[in-house]
A and B are shown apart, each in its own frame.
Chain A
Amino acid sequence: MSKTDPTSEVVGPEILSQRMGRGSPSPSSIELSTSAQLAPPKDRGGSKSGLLYFFHQFLRREYLSIISLIVFLLAWEGVCYFKIIGPYQLVPPTTVLKVFILKLTQVNPDGAYLWAHALSSLGLALLGFLGAALIGVPLGLFMGWYTRLNLVVRPIFDLIRPIPPIAWIPLAILWLGIGVKAKAYIIFLASFVPCVINSFTGIRLTNPILARVARVHGASDFTVFLKIGLPSAIPMIFNGLRLSLNAAWTTLVAAELVAASQGLGFMIQMGRRLARPDIVIVGMLTIGVLGALLSWGLSKAESHFVSSRRLT
């Protein structure tokens, strides 16, 4: 069995450290980078403090992205305005915004408020994700540390791993019915795999010299696992959690195909059935924005946790 596992779920340590470098710069590099970015190349004597200055700098840095976004929205609006794509296939961004606001206070036509759909989906995704993290991370760590356990679990894990979570839907329904349990189970499966693989790889990356230092000081194997292996694996564990959360969120729509009466995936389905592209698009955008927010929250937690403990 090879030591590291070159699979798509694993992001190599170089990439990881690059990401870390951006996500959680050391205190000294924070100062360096911000002062480098914020210091204007030519000081034109404008007000250097306050919101205006910040806004100015923001525009200066991001103007290309802002322009790109505006052009995209205008093009979209134009495509609808000139009926290049008909109103039953696509609605313009202005309508999307209107429907979005409307859906906050209105249950029609799909049966629930937008925030109720969102909460239901969030709860479901988090349930599956947390379950996967609580079981998958320790399993991966132990498999990486104890070769015997790895030999026992690996074949089964490798057999189950390539099965797409959606393929589990029929069995999940047979076993767990059509309630929350089946849906959470499918999301659990989707987020389980990256948790295991990344924790496994992470602990395999433990510097053997650090483990030796601990052993010289009389540490038992389990102590070395806890005190050296675990901290060494933390960056990769977080990497796995991020991929897991991603997997959980992207499997959501599929999981909500299982007889749902609420949820963003269900909302999209209803939108299709009622031939309401506006509802579909509002649902899709909500999924996108919430997913981005979740990832952002996790990487905030990560950079706080990792950098405050100097784990990179």
Chain B
Amino acid sequence: MDDYILSCQDLTVSFKDSEPPVLRGLTLGVRENEFLVILGPGQCGKTVFLNCLAGLQLPTEGAVYYRHNKVVGPGRERGVVFQKYALFPWQTVLGNVAWGLKSQGVSKEKRRAIALKYIQLVGLSGFENAYPQTLSGGMKQRVGLARAYATGPKVLLMDEPFGALDAQTRYAMENELLILWEKEKRTVIFVTNNIEEAVFLGDRVILMSARPGRIKIEREILIPHPRSYTDPTFLALRQEISAETDLAL
């Protein structure tokens, strides 16, 4: 457990006693600055798992650890990018990105400076004063990324951040996420139900099964970035993972 920045031990979550648990006996360690992808079909408990890591959901059994400390609630060192965009509609892009900093008591000028930096990093310069409703899906999720980055977390938890985007925007966003990640290395735990996205992004992919949610297989992906969808190794890996799942390709 020593090498892991975030880990969980025998994590079990059940909401109703009458049903099988949503997650059962999940044990996992995440290395510092790793890009870990969690791949799983819909409704297999990916969001519940991420919520546990974020401290938003307390496990029925087992525990989550940040380094050596047991996680008992949300913490500044863990940032979240949510599945639906989850932007505050009454705040501008700047307001949304700076929101977390405000609740941490950062001074106004500093908040602005930090927020502007990340708005620029995600390529939204010029939209600081726009409201979320006026943004496209891709832009909204850029704001979500900037907001999660702005508070300076060590670990970023991303819940299908590009799930609602069209294929082209999605591909562009995947690339930009990697660029951002190279620029500002963080530990990323990225949840998706898309095999190609998983193989394209991850240093390591964890495949989850549904009801109860468990780790089915685990693969290190050593293909260097930038990866190509048509690279033979890429295709082989995609084939291998999809053989293990009932996910549609």
Q: Do the beta carbons of A311 and B89 come within 8 Å of each other? A: yes
Q: Mark B62-77, 1 if CB is under 8 A from A, else 0.
A: 0000000000001110
Q: Does B241 contact A (CB under 8 A)?
A: no
B residues contacting the other copy or chain, number (CB 8 A)? 24
Query: Which chain A residues have a beta carbon within 8 Å of chain B's beta carbons?
Result: 26, 207, 209-210, 212-219, 223, 228, 231, 309-312
Q: Do the beta carbons of A215 and B82 come within 8 Å of each other? A: no
Q: Could you tell me the distance between the alpha carbons of A311 and B74 in the complex, rounded to whole angstroms?
A: 27
Q: Could you tell me the distance between the alpha carbons of A212 and B79 in the complex, rounded to whole angstroms?
A: 11
A311 CB, nearest partner CB in chain B, Å: 5
Q: Do the beta carbons of A213 and B90 come within 8 Å of each other? A: no
Q: Do the beta carbons of B82 and A217 come within 8 Å of each other? A: no
Q: Do the beta carbons of A215 and B86 come within 8 Å of each other? A: no
Q: Do the beta carbons of B133 and A26 come within 8 Å of each other? A: yes
For B74, the chain A residues whose CB sits under 8 A away are: 215-218
Q: Do the beta carbons of A311 and B88 come within 8 Å of each other? A: no
A218 CB, nearest partner CB in chain B, Å: 6
Q: Which of B6-63 contact A (CB under 8 A)?
A: 51, 54, 56
Closest to B75 in A: A218
Known: A215-B74, A216-B56. A310 touches B90 (CB 8 A): yes
Q: Does B99 contact A (CB under 8 A)?
A: yes
Pick from B89, B91, B103: contact of A217, CB under 8 Å: B103
For A26, the chain B residues whose CB sits under 8 A away are: 133
Which 10 A-B pairs rank lowest in CB-CB distance, beginning with the nearest?
A: A217-B100, A209-B86, A216-B74, A216-B80, A310-B90, A231-B90, A310-B131, A217-B103, A219-B103, A309-B90
Q: Do the beta carbons of B104 and A212 come within 8 Å of each other? A: no
A215 CB, nearest partner CB in chain B, Å: 5
Assuming A215-B56, A217-B74, A218-B74, what are 18 further A-B pairs, CB within 8 angstroms?
A207-B86, A209-B83, A212-B80, A212-B82, A212-B86, A213-B88, A216-B80, A217-B99, A217-B100, A218-B100, A218-B103, A219-B103, A228-B88, A231-B88, A231-B90, A310-B89, A310-B133, A312-B89
Q: Do the beta carbons of A217 and B131 come within 8 Å of each other? A: no
For B76, the chain A residues whose CB sits under 8 A away are: 218
Of B51, B75, B80, B89, the most chain A CB neighbours within 10 A belong to: B89
For B80, the chain A residues whose CB sits under 8 A away are: 212-213, 216
Query: Which chain B residues have a beta carbon within 8 Å of chain A's beta carbons?
Result: 51, 54, 56, 74-76, 78-80, 82-84, 86, 88-91, 99-100, 103-104, 131, 133, 151
Known: A218-B74, A310-B131, A310-B133. A209 touches B84 (CB 8 A): yes
The main secondary structure of chain B at its interface with chain A is: loop
For B89, the chain A residues whose CB sits under 8 A away are: 310-312
Q: Do the beta carbons of B103 and A223 come within 8 Å of each other? A: yes
For B56, the chain A residues whose CB sits under 8 A away are: 212, 215-216
A312 CB, nearest partner CB in chain B, Å: 8
For B54, the chain A residues whose CB sits under 8 A away are: 216
For B151, the chain A residues whose CB sits under 8 A away are: 217
The contact sample of 29 A-B pairs, CB cut-off 8 A, is A26-B133, A209-B83, A210-B88, A212-B51, A212-B80, A212-B82, A213-B80, A213-B86, A213-B99, A214-B103, A215-B74, A216-B54, A216-B56, A216-B74, A216-B100, A217-B99, A217-B100, A217-B103, A218-B75, A218-B100, A218-B103, A223-B103, A228-B88, A309-B90, A310-B89, A310-B90, A310-B131, A311-B89, A311-B90
For B103, the chain A residues whose CB sits under 8 A away are: 214, 217-219, 223
For B82, the chain A residues whose CB sits under 8 A away are: 209, 212-213
For A223, the chain B residues whose CB sits under 8 A away are: 103
Q: Could you tell me the distance between the alpha carbons of A218 and B90 in the complex, rounded to whole angstroms?
A: 20
Q: Do the beta carbons of A210 and B99 come within 8 Å of each other? A: no
A44 CB, nearest partner CB in chain B, Å: 37
For A312, the chain B residues whose CB sits under 8 A away are: 89
Q: Could you tell me the distance between the alpha carbons of A311 and B91 in the complex, rounded to whole angstroms?
A: 9
Q: Do the beta carbons of A217 and B88 come within 8 Å of each other? A: no
Closest to A234 in B: B90
A217 CB, nearest partner CB in chain B, Å: 4
For B83, the chain A residues whose CB sits under 8 A away are: 209
Q: Could you tell me the distance between the alpha carbons of A218 and B78 in the complex, rounded to whole angstroms?
A: 10
B64 CB, nearest partner CB in chain A, Å: 14
